[in-house]
Structure 1
């Protein structure tokens, strides 16, 4: 093998290593520090007449007082008799106040946000005096949030046979529970936690370094400098 080929392979190996590092940084950068809307993977179960809290918050903590917060029922279809077919909400927070005009009549005076906690990113919804008709999926959504995960789904089950052994007011923050709405997640690694991305990146770099190191050692063994070959040849008698 010629010296030119040897240095060409070394250059190619170096370029490959640079590409791997750039790719790893590209994967990590958009996710680091991104604010996500977090819901609950577990259903909230209550008995008729209970007051319940549908947990939803932003992580890391983020002040949402100046943003719009929408709570709706995604499985509830608009009334076909309504010419405007406007969207009606379980609860709508806009311009730093509740907007009752676009609220479903069945939830009038029955829903509220924790206004003092909005600055901490808590957008959980409290529903008073629930009934079986309230069962279903609820969607918390922040349309102007600069994130790839702007919404989450919370399931409410109102069961007349449910025996309340503890308060149905679920803790406001669930660090280990996340249910992003698939419609509001950008394809890719948006659903991965920061820790998961770190593990993937570290594993990827480790494997790449391992392969690059042994590839380089193999090239050194298979390719020798012409001067070394000359020195190893026996001297003429």
Structure 2
């Protein structure tokens, strides 16, 4: 009997510790990037969004939408269509905005890790704006995140069009890394190079001036030299 009570006590203690250490839906939250995502016209872009702490969302409903988009005035009962809709473990294109038809996708293999990032291919100017990623039935106070997508001409260099799937792999460059180019270096070169060119040009002009003056002085008659008198007969 004593052994039974001991085993029951420790079993209850271990189960309680496990339950307390396991995050509930109320402790989880949807997290998006703090900085705007920049994409070049015609490129592919990933809008990062994930659940933190990590949890399997394969059985959840994942919705990507544009919060600033208004309902169709010709069909107000339909409501607002979605950028991308995932429900019942499959993607549903029937309520998708026509602009995004065939251009959006989730990373289904990453849903088990709480990754609900959205990929948009062949970015257009109409894709510019705010996006909302949302997980329904999460029982959390933070079940959505808002992020900004900025579309720029293809001539502008961008470095944020492709982001790692795993948010934990995001790394910030070390500001002390000497191999990274600095903006101050380019500013210094822009000032130093014209000054060097101006200095060289000035030196060349001064040298040429003195050479010309010296040549002119050599060609002048010598006033101190004795003058030759004409011969008398």
Q: Give the TM-score normalised by structure 2.
A: 0.59
1:70 corresponds, among 63, 72, 80, to 63
Instruction: Say if 2:64 and 2:83, in contact at 8 Å, map to a contact too.
Output: yes
Secondary structure of 1:130's counterpart equals: coil
Q: RMSD of aligned C-alpha atoms? A: 2.4
SS at match of 2:130: strand
CA distance in 1, matches of 2:99, 2:33: 24
- The answer for unaligned runs of 5 or more in structure 2 is 1-22, 171-233
Matching of residues 146-165 of structure 1 within 5 Å: 146-160=139-153, 163-164=156-157
Structure number with the bigger relative contact order (C-alpha 8 A, sep ≥ 6) is: 1
Paired position in structure 2 for 1:139? 132
Structure possessing the higher radius of gyration over alpha carbons: 2
**Partner residue in 2 for 1:95:** 88
2:30 aligned with 1:37: yes
Runs of at least 4 residues off by over 6 Å? 30-33
In the aligned structure 2, how far is the partner of 1:77 from the partner of 1:68?
22
Residues 129-184 of structure 1, C-alpha deviations (whole Å, 9 max, x = no match): 0011100000000121121100001110001166335461122344699xxxxxxx
Q: 1:151 to 1:176 in 2, by over 3 A?
A: farther
SS in 1 for 2:109: helix
Q: How many angstroms apart in 2 are the aligned matches of 1:98 and 1:32?
A: 23
